[in-house]
Amino acid sequence: MSSGIEALVNREYAYGFVTDVETDTVPPGLNEDIIRLISAKKNEPAFMLEWRLKAYRRWLTMKEPHWGNVKYPPIDYDSLVYYSAPKSVRPLQSLDEVDPELLRTYDKLGISLTEQKFLSGVAVDAIFDSVSVGTTMKEELSKHGIIFCSFGEAVQNHPELVEKYLGTVVPHSDNFYAALNAAVFSDGSFAYVPKGVKCPMELSTYFRINSRNTGQFERTLIIADEGASVSYLEGCTAPKRDENQLHAAVVELIALDNATVKYSTVQNWYSGDAEGKGGIYNFVTKRGKAAGVNSKISWTQVETGSAITWKYPSVILQGDNSVGEFYSVAVVNRKQQADTGTKMIHIGKNTRSTIVSKGISAGEGNNSYRGLVRVLPKAEGARNYTQCDSMLIGNKCGAHTFPYIEVQNNTATLEHEASTSKIGEDQIFYCKQRGVSAEHAVSMIVSGFCREVFKELPMEFAVEAQQLLGITLEGSVG
């Protein structure tokens, strides 16, 4: 590896700063009192508290799962802080009241709430530690009857919708982290697109973990009513800290008859330093239910950050003719570990799913694709196409594929393809011969490798994703 390349590889995490904002934090540890406290702080109706307590009691009986192909020291759940909010955030009437320090943070991140509001036509909900600090473009959206706000506001203003849909896709008892999230989640985003409405702009949430020892547990719920369609973007960053931070979010998507939900993530949590110290544990449960006929749920993710990524954005294909998609690029470098993939559960007739997963491993990173395609007996004519490709850069990293294919209906057609390869020396030679530097050649080849996924991303994110990929990877090949 040349020194220029070294420099690139060792490039600092650009979003690692800490914002000095006064926070309102609950004592560390978890018990029913903490949950009552969180619920009270958020002024929640009784059904929410009950649901949280139910989840907490269930969580106590559950064991931390260890089947993933990831290794980490035990997490002390009693030392975590389960609620941390910027103090000046409430009561918040308009964006002008947002702590200027916070707005500067988002500026540094390239998410200027005010600018975005006027220029980009993207509605942004920004989550700082656990609390939503501002939602832009609300008025424009409300003209169409679209509700897009923080989860906390939704609980206050639209409790009937929350009560109807909360936990219907990821039940409080789903898994260890989902139960924990259900018990303690503090905020998140909520979107409801009414019947027949095509959301006129991209909805977006930016997540930021700031406080020390804080677990971030946000919960996102997106509902597309009959004939509606919505595209949603999510981005994440965190400051550099030596200790690991836990991020256990839950995302639930619901698409009713003829509705479409598209969910895109660019995940760039702090991944830890070169020795693998610090970084975010990203243990997330994401699931969509294509509940109605002809409904469609599409996940696109670009995973470049986090010390450990462990998530499987899934689709339950319940409605007849429903469609599920999963496009993923996961990059690991240094000592990062990623165990990610998807689950496509075919229940309805003529359901179709597509999985395209691109894994890139460099440094001492380990990347696993773990996917499940299950065709239940009544899913006549189900169709799945899966392609998962891995690329290895160096021989200290690893690439793993664990696809599970379970078919109980003989009218189903499934295809699974996987390949692993490295960047060919001849490819690099070809580029160099034409005056393209090795580093640039690698970045071109990797971009090409990921193209099928990047083209699924909305424009703004596609650019960011390309850059992130460059930061994480470029130069790790010599």
Residue from 14, 37, 49, 418 in contact with another protein (CB under 8 A):
418
Residues in the chain: 478
Task: State the minimum distance, in angstroms, from the CB of residue 391 to another protein.
Answer: 9
Which one of residues 71, 415, 432, 455 is an interface residue with another protein (CB under 8 A)?
415
User: What is the C-alpha separation between 133 and 92, in angstroms, rounded?
Assistant: 8
* Closer residue to another protein, CB minimum distance, 110 or 398: 398
Q: Which of 396, 432, 451, 455 binds another protein (CB under 8 A)?
A: 396
Considering only residues 232 to 251 of the shown chain, the ones binding another protein according to CB under 8 A are: none
CA distance 232 to 265: 8
The residue within the footprint of another protein, chosen from 399, 442, 457, 468 (CB under 8 A), is 399
x/- site string to another protein, residues 419 to 448, per CB under 8 A?
xxxx--------------------------
Q: Is 403 in the site for another protein (CB under 8 A)?
A: yes
Q: Count the alpha carbons within 13 Å of 172 in the hemisphere toward its beta carbon.
A: 21
Q: Taking a C-beta distance cutoff of 8 angstroms, is the pair 166, 51 a contact? A: yes
Residue 367 bridge partners (DSSP): 338, 399
> Of 35-43, 55-63, 170-178, 392-400, which segment contacts another protein by CB under 8 A?
392-400
x/- track of binding to another protein for residues 350-389 (CB under 8 A) = -------------------------x-x------------
Q: Give the H/E segment covering residue 360.
A: strand 352-361
Q: Which of 406, 430, 448, 451 binds another protein (CB under 8 A)?
A: 406
> Torsions phi, psi of 32, nearest 5?
-65, -30
Chain-centre distance of CA 157, in angstroms? 26
Which residue stretch of 1-9, 165-173, 410-418, 440-448 sits at the interface with another protein (rule: CB under 8 A)?
Answer: 410-418
Min CB(379)–another protein separation in Å: 11
Helix (H) or strand (E) holding 182: helix 176-184
Give the closest residue to 224 by CA, choosing from 182, 250, 262.
Answer: 262
Residue 378 C-beta: closest distance to another protein, Å: 10
**Beta pairing, strands 250-255 & 219-224:** parallel
| Residue 277 touching another protein (CB under 8 A) | no
Segment 37 to 76, residues that bind another protein, using CB under 8 A: 67
- Which listed residue (124, 246, 329, 392) binds another protein by CB under 8 A? 392
| Binders in 300-339 for another protein, by CB under 8 A | none
What tokens were used for 79?
């030392």
Smallest distance from the beta carbon of 394 to another protein, in angstroms?
6
Single-letter residue type at 187: D
Among 43, 168, 408, 437, which residue interacts with another protein (rule: CB under 8 A)? 408
Task: Dump the DSSP string for 105-167.
Answer: HHHHTT--HHHHHHTT--EEEEEETTEEEEE-SHHHHHHTT-EEEEHHHHHHH-HHHHHHHTT
Smallest CA-to-CA distance from 391 within 415, 427, 355, 433 is with 427
Q: Per CB under 8 A, which region of 11-19, 89-97, 152-160, 400-408 contacts another protein?
A: 400-408
Q: Which of 46, 395, 426, 433 binds another protein (CB under 8 A)?
A: 395
* Residue 409 near another protein by CB under 8 A: yes
User: Which among 233, 241, 258, 271 has a CA at the least distance from the CA of 120?
Assistant: 233
Which residues sit at the interface with another protein, rule CB under 8 A? 67, 375, 377, 390, 392-422
